[in-house]
């Protein structure tokens, strides 16, 4: 049966980019539909009536919403280059740290743009504490997934985004001196073509910083 | 399954803990239940969940698994053939995970607003709460359970909140059954199963607990 895969996404959304990376890692051909979140396509609203958000993966006209649900669906449908380990305990660990990034790190980063002075310093301190959790998870490993890029690496790409935007804003939120393993991981994944293809293009990075500072909650996912 | 050492660190009114109790019961996994005093957390809890310091924590042969949805999936994956909670088809699994995620993101916070707020804020929470339950009714359709003919992942994720419905109704001054009769019928159907009824505390006990919390936090 001919496979038809479409992704409704948005260039500035880390959740959308995450799914694109997953698609490229599995070498799944797909059609990309860029959504204007202020003027969503009727298709998007039909495919995700509950949340009306991106990303939405449509596989042979069957929609899947929520980035982590999409990624697990992909892992179960296309078995090449598996994202999750086989062992149930290892899987639980990968899911735990991915949830940690989504529930803790991302909201703290979103808060950063809204803070100044002492509150900003406290928020940066909070980010450093969260980074420590991820640094510990990298001990003895090349990637979060072990020898190869996996589920948690895909979600942790937000660290790469931060590193790139940090160079532009001059604001070193990501403490690479304190967290050398994360820094090494960033350098390692940035050598991968598929990772670079899914990063915010250089010419759009300034726009992204402004967008991130204005909207406390991402309009996607 | 041999003699595995399974411990659940929990707090009796927690809907998140209830999810794990149901999943363990469905799989007939014997475990030791340890009640935590959340104002005086045990060293074991702090050691097993250093990141969040929260219950429930499932300790399986000395190794901790945290976060209720992750725990339920883990339990399902270690004994996949016994009372499977997630379906086998990847698309059906995605749908189940989507709704599990929906319940997790919406129901607890909205429910909390029902007993901690008043006036306009409470009315808005009530409205959204009912809308969410109606969406879930839509997903349930004519099935006996979200899992089809048997209890599934979404059932396990959602049904614990049924023990809190009476408290929500009293505090919010409304009737969930009037608004969502199908959902209440579903909940009662779940409660006919021992695995569920023995995992959920009495609705009256939860209401008393909520009244106690309101006093402690000075909420009217």
Q: How far is CA B117 from CA B102, B128, B214, in A?
A: 22, 14, 10
Q: How far is CA B114 from CA A127, B187, B211, in A?
A: 32, 20, 13
Q: Is A219 a member of any domain?
A: no
Q: Is the pLDDT of residue B183 over 60?
A: yes
Query: Among residues A77, A101, A127, which one ends one of the domains?
Result: A77
Mean residue pLDDT of chain B comes to: 96
Mean residue pLDDT of chain A comes to: 90
A199 and A123 together in one domain: yes
Per-residue pLDDT reduced to its tens digit, B82-110: 999 999 999 999 999 999 999 999 999 99
Q: Is A67 a member of any domain?
A: yes
Q: Is the pLDDT of residue A76 over 80?
A: yes
- Which of B23, B57, B98 best probes binding to A when mutated, by most A CB atoms within 10 angstroms? B98
Average pLDDT over residues A151-159: 96
Q: Are strands A5-9 and A31-34 parallel, antiparallel or unpaired?
A: parallel
A86 touches chain B (CB under 8 A): no
Q: What CATH number is associated with residue A196?
A: 1.20.1050.10
pLDDT confidence tier of residue A214, bands split at 50, 70 and 90: low
Please report residues of A whose CB lies closer than 8 A to that of B58: none
A1 touches chain B (CB under 8 A): no
B89 touches chain A (CB under 8 A): no
Per-residue pLDDT reduced to its tens digit, B47-60: 999 999 999 999 99
Residue pair A98/A155 in contact (Cβ under 8 Å)? The answer is yes
DSSP string, chain A: ----EEEEE-TT-HHHHHHHHHHHHTT---EEEE-BTTB--HHHHHH-TTT--S-EEEETTEEEESHHHHHHHHHHH--SS-SS-SSHHHHHHHHHHHHHIIIIIHHHHHHHTT--HHHHHHHHHHHHHHHHHHHHHTTT-SBTTBSS--HHHHHHTHHHHHHHHHHHH----S-TTT-HHHHHHHHHHHTSHHHHHTSPPGGGHHHHHHHHHH-SS-S--
CB–CB contact A72 B97 (8 Å): yes
Q: What CATH number is associated with residue A63?
A: 3.40.30.10
CB–CB contact B73 A69 (8 Å): no
Per-residue pLDDT reduced to its tens digit, B160-179: 999 999 999 999 999 999 99
A51 and A12 together in one domain: yes
Q: Is A104 a member of any domain?
A: yes
CB–CB contact B71 A95 (8 Å): no
Q: Which of A204, A210, A181 is nearest to A17 (CA)?
A: A204
A50 touches chain B (CB under 8 A): yes
Q: Is A53 a member of any domain?
A: yes
The lowest-confidence range among A4-13, A103-112, B101-110 is A103-112
- Residue ranges and CATH numbers for the domains of chain B are 6-78 (3.40.30.10), 90-217 (1.20.1050.10)
Q: How far is CA A151 from CA A92, A146, B157, in A?
A: 11, 11, 23
Query: Among residues A77, A99, A127, which one ends one of the domains?
Result: A77
pTM, full prediction: 0.94
CA pair distance A173, A128, nearest whole angstrom = 8
A31 and A98 together in one domain: no
Q: Is the pLDDT of residue B3 over 60?
A: no
Please report residues of B whose CB lies closer than 8 A to that of A100: 51
Q: Is the pLDDT of residue A221 over 50?
A: no
A133 and A68 together in one domain: no
- Which of A26, A93, A96 best probes binding to B when mutated, by most B CB atoms within 10 angstroms? A96
CA pair distance B84, B95, nearest whole angstrom = 16
A66 and A158 together in one domain: no
Q: Which of A170, A192, A96 is nearest to B65 (CA)?
A: A96
Q: Is the pLDDT of residue B74 over 90?
A: yes
Residue pair A19/A70 in contact (Cβ under 8 Å)? The answer is yes
Residue pair A53/A66 in contact (Cβ under 8 Å)? The answer is no
A99 and A187 together in one domain: yes
A178 and A98 together in one domain: yes
DSSP string, A126-174: HHHHHHHHHHHHTTT-SBTTBSS--HHHHHHTHHHHHHHHHHHH----S
Q: Is A82 a member of any domain?
A: no
- B49-62 in b/e form (b: 16+ CB < 10 A) is beeeebbbbbbbee
CB–CB contact B77 A88 (8 Å): yes
A135 touches chain B (CB under 8 A): no
B108 touches chain A (CB under 8 A): no
A190 and A150 together in one domain: yes
A54 and A137 together in one domain: no
Confidence at residue A170, expressed as pLDDT on a 0 to 100 scale: 66
CA pair distance B24, B9, nearest whole angstrom = 13
Q: Is A136 a member of any domain?
A: yes
Please report residues of B whose CB lies closer than 8 A to that of A69: 94, 97-98, 101
Average pLDDT over residues B202-212: 98
CB–CB contact A69 B65 (8 Å): no
Q: Closest partner residue to A96 among B67, B98, B101, by Cβ?
A: B67
A36 and A71 together in one domain: yes
Q: Closest partner residue to A77 among B77, B90, B102, by Cβ?
A: B90
Confidence at residue A161, expressed as pLDDT on a 0 to 100 scale: 87
Residue pair B175/B169 in contact (Cβ under 8 Å)? The answer is yes
A77 touches chain B (CB under 8 A): yes
The lowest-confidence range among A56-60, A165-169, B59-63 is A165-169
* SS3 at position B63: strand
- Which of A1, A22, A55, A92 best probes binding to B when mutated, by most B CB atoms within 10 angstroms? A92
CB–CB contact A89 B65 (8 Å): yes
Query: Among residues A77, A96, A113, which one ends one of the domains?
Result: A77
Please report residues of A whose CB lies closer than 8 A to that of B60: 89
Average pLDDT over residues B54-70: 97
Average pLDDT over residues A140-144: 96
3-class secondary structure per residue, B87-126: CCCHHHHHHHHHHHHHHHHHHHHHHHHHHHCCHHHHHHHH
CA pair distance A173, A185, nearest whole angstrom = 17
CB–CB contact B90 A96 (8 Å): no
Confidence at residue A1, expressed as pLDDT on a 0 to 100 scale: 55
Residue B77 C-alpha, separation from nearest chain A C-alpha, in angstroms:
6
Per-residue pLDDT reduced to its tens digit, B108-153: 999 999 999 999 999 999 999 999 999 999 999 999 999 999 999 9
Q: Is A83 a member of any domain?
A: no
CA pair distance B219, B212, nearest whole angstrom = 10
- Which of A26, A62, A69, A91 best probes binding to B when mutated, by most B CB atoms within 10 angstroms? A69
CA pair distance A41, A48, nearest whole angstrom = 11
As for how many domains chain A has, the answer is 2
Average pLDDT over residues A82-108: 96
The lowest-confidence range among A48-52, A108-112, A184-188, B11-15 is A108-112
The residue range of the domain holding A31 is 5-77
Q: Which of A22, A20, A41, A40 is nearest to A31 (CA)?
A: A20
A208 and A99 together in one domain: yes
A123 and A24 together in one domain: no
CA pair distance A98, A107, nearest whole angstrom = 13
Q: Is A100 a member of any domain?
A: yes
pLDDT confidence tier of residue A111, bands split at 50, 70 and 90: confident
Confidence at residue B44, expressed as pLDDT on a 0 to 100 scale: 97
CB–CB contact A73 B90 (8 Å): yes
Q: Is the pLDDT of residue A216 over 60?
A: no
């Amino acid at each position: 049966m001919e496979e038809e895969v479409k992704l409704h996404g948005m260039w500035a959304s880390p959740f959308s980019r995450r799914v694109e990376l997953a698609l490229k890692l599995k070498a799944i051909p797909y059609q990309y539909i860029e959504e204007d979140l202020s003027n969503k396509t009727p298709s998007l609203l039909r495919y995700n009536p509950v949340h009306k958000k991106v990303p939405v993966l449509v596989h042979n006209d069957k929609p899947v919403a929520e980035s982590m649900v999409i990624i697990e669906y992909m892992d179960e449908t296309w078995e090449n280059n598996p994202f999750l380990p086989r062992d149930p305990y290892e899987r639980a660990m990968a899911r735990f740290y991915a949830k940690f990034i989504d529930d803790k790190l991302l909201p703290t980063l979103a808060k950063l743009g809204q803070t100044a002075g002492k509150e900003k310093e406290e928020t940066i301190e909070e980010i450093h504490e969260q980074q420590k959790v991820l640094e510990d998870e990298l001990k003895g490993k090349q990637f979060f997934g072990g020898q190869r890029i996996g589920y948690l690496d895909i979600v942790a790409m937000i660290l790469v985004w931060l590193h790139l935007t940090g160079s532009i804003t001059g604001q070193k939120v990501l403490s690479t001196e304190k967290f050398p393993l994360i820094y090494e991981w960033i350098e390692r994944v940035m050598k991968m073509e598929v990772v670079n293809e899914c990063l915010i293009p250089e010419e759009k990075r300034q726009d992204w910083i402004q967008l991130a500072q204005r909207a406390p909650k991402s309009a996607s996912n | 399954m041999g003699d595995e050492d399974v411990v659940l660190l929990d707090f009796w009114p927690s809907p998140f803990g209830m999810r794990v109790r149901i999943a363990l019961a469905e799989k007939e996994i014997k475990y030791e239940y340890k009640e935590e005093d959340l104002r005086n957390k045990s060293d074991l809890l702090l050691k097993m969940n250093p990141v969040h310091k929260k219950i429930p924590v499932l300790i399986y042969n000395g190794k901790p698994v945290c976060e209720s949805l992750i725990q339920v999936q883990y339990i399902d994956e270690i004994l996949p053939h016994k009372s499977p909670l997630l379906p086998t088809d990847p698309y059906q699994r995605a749908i189940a995970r989507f709704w599990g995620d929906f319940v997790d993101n919406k129901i607890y916070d909205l429910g909390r607003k029902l007993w901690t707020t008043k006036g306009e804020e409470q009315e808005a929470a009530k409205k959204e709460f009912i809308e969410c339950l109606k969406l879930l009714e839509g997903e349930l359709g004519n099935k006996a359970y979200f899992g089809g003919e048997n209890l599934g992942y979404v059932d396990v994720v959602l049904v614990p909140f049924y023990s809190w419905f009476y408290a929500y109704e009293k505090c919010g001054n409304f009737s969930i059954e009037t608004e969502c009769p199908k959902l209440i019928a579903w909940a009662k159907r779940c409660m006919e199963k021992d695995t569920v009824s023995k995992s959920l505390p009495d609705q009256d006990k939860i209401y008393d607990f909520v009244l106690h919390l309101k006093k402690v936090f000075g909420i009217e």
